[in-house]
Amino acid sequence: NAGVMQNPRHLVRRRGQEARLRCSPMKGHSHVYWYRQLPEEGLKFMVYLQKENIIDESGMPKERFSAEFPKEGPSILRIQQVVRGDSAAYFCASSPSPGESYEQYFGPGTRLTVT
Amino acid sequence: DAKTTQPNSMESNEEEPVHLPCNHSTISGTDYIHWYRQLPSQGPEYVIHGLTSNVNNRMASLAIAEDRKSSTLILHRATLRDAAVYYCILRRSGGSNYKLTFGKGTLLTVNP
């Protein structure tokens, strides 16, 4: 059973470009979470999605960031007009349910570097 | 939200037991105690969780104090592969408990 897959693993963008990060959850999981890890910091929650619905985007910056989880295909985290401060590792996690006893399975992350 | 406190770093020798402490003095009755670890250049990995009773699984054991204000993750025989940052996280029952709140964790170094 394949784990959570993220691609690309490394992404380099120049300031002002767009970054698209993809996440395929584990088979059978319909709940996806995105986290961001800035250098030397812990992971911070960004957004929680179910198929075709954004449930909680309270951790996502109001501008330039958006996320989707379409009926078919992977979840996408999109960052428009990237700035140097967006350089970080972005992790996606999935679970069968958001309940407190369910672990979240994390992908290997996408490391975004903005030059 | 209740907060956790962990030592910044700990060191262990290979094949010896490791006890990783976590203080959570403001824990509420509905908070579960979860542990995750993050190996270098990888995403976090679930280790174990518990509510009141001690828990064992194939990776580790979780010892929870009677008053629940602290807990200890126990690796029975550390291997080099256990070198990672270990995070102690509280997850409240119900509500927005899907948000994992990661602190700085404890960086565990395992010496050969």
Per-residue pLDDT tens digits for A12-45? 999 999 999 999 999 988 899 999 999 888 899 9
pLDDT for the residue B30: 87
Average pLDDT taken over every residue of chain B: 93
- Is the pLDDT score of A1 beyond 60? no
**A107 in B contact zone (CB under 8 Å):** yes
Give per-residue burial for A14-41: e unless 16+ CB within 10 Å, then b: eeeeebebbbbbbeebebbbbbbbeeee
Q: A108, B92: Cβ pair inside 8 Å?
A: no
Give B46→chain A minimum CA distance, Å. 6
Asked if A101 reaches chain B (Cβ–Cβ under 8 Å), the answer is: yes
pLDDT band at B98 (very low <50, low <70, confident <90, very high): confident
Q: Answer whether residue B10 shows pLDDT above 60.
A: yes
Instruction: Give the model's pLDDT for residue B95.
Output: 66
Res. A54: pLDDT tops 70 = yes
Residue type at position A84: R
Interface A-B, measured as beta-carbon pairs within 8 A, has a size of: 59
Q: Strand A110-114 to strand A105-106: parallel, antiparallel, or no bridges (unpaired)? A: unpaired
The answer to whether B21 touches B9, Cβ cutoff 8 Å, is no
Q: A68 pairs with which residues across the strands?
A: A76
Which of A95, A100, A109 shows the shortest C-beta gap to B43? A109
Percent of chain A, pLDDT > 70?
Answer: 96
Stronger pLDDT, A39 or A90, i.e. the higher one:
A90
Mean local confidence (pLDDT), A39-59: 92
Residue ranges with strand state E in chain B? 9-13, 18-23, 31-38, 45-50, 55-56, 61-64, 70-75, 84-92, 106-111
A39 touches chain B (CB under 8 A): no
Q: What pLDDT was estimated at residue A28?
A: 86
In this prediction, residue A99 carries a pLDDT of 63
CA-to-CA distance for A74 and A42, rounded, in angstroms?
25
DSSP character at residue A16: T
How would residue A2 be classed by pLDDT, with cut points 50, 70 and 90? confident
Q: Which of A48, A95, A108 sits opposite B43 (nearest CB)?
A: A108
Contact list in A for residue B53 (CB cut-off 8 A) is none
Is residue A100's pLDDT more than 70?
A: no
Is residue A90 within 8 angstroms of chain B, CB to CB? Answer: no
Euclidean distance between CA atoms B99 and A32, whole angstroms: 11
Smallest Cα distance from A2 to chain B, Å? 15
Name which of B43, B102, B105 is nearest A107 (Cβ-Cβ): B43
- Min Cα distance A80 → chain B (Å) is 24
Q: Tell whether B86 is within 8 A of chain A (Cβ).
A: no
What pLDDT is attached to residue B61? 97
